[in-house]
Copies of this chain bind each other. A is one copy, B any other.
Amino acid sequence: MIDLRSDTVTRPSAGMLAAMTSAPVGDDVYGEDPTINRLEETVAGLLGHEAGLFTVSGSLANILGVRALVAPGSEVLCEASAHIARAELGAHAAVSGITTRTWSAPAGQIDLEQIRALISADLGRYFVSTAAVSVENTHNFGGGSIQHAYDALADELDARGLPLHLDGARLWNASVASGVPLASYASRATAASVCLSKGLGAPVGSVLVGSTELIREARVWRKRLGAGWRQAGVLAAAGLYALEHNVERLAEDHANARLIAEVLADAAPGSVKPDQVETNIVVADLAATGKSVPEVVEAARAAGVLVGGVGPTQLRLVTHLDASTDDCRTAAQSLARLLAA
A residues near B (Cβ < 8 Å) are 5-6, 8-12, 17-18, 20-21, 25-27, 29-30, 55-57, 59-64, 72-75, 80, 85-95, 97-104, 114, 117-118, 120-121, 123, 125-128, 197, 203-204, 220, 223-235, 310-312
Contact = CB atoms under 8 A, between A and B. Distances in A.
A227 B100 contact: no
A81 B249 CA distance: 45
5 contacts: A12-B234, A59-B226, A95-B97, A123-B310, A227-B227
Nearest to A62: B226
Instruction: Quickly give the copy total for this chain.
Output: 4
B117 A104 contact: yes
Most chain-B CB neighbours within 10 Å: which of A29, A94, A102?
Answer: A94
Nearest to A27: B9
A201 to B, nearest CB: 9
Given A20-B234, A85-B101, A93 B121 contact: no
Contacts of A101: 80, 85, 100-102
Contact of A197 (B30, B93, B231): B231
A51 to B, nearest CB: 16
With a 10 A CB-CB cut-off, give which of A10, A12, A231 has the most chain B CB atoms: A231
Contacts of A310: 123
B126 A29 contact: yes
B128 A87 contact: yes
A90 B128 contact: yes
A92 B224 CA distance: 9
Nearest to A234: B203
Contact of A80 (B10, B87, B118, B123): B118
Q: Which 6 A-B pairs have the closest CB atoms?
A: A60-B226, A203-B231, A73-B90, A94-B97, A93-B93, A93-B99
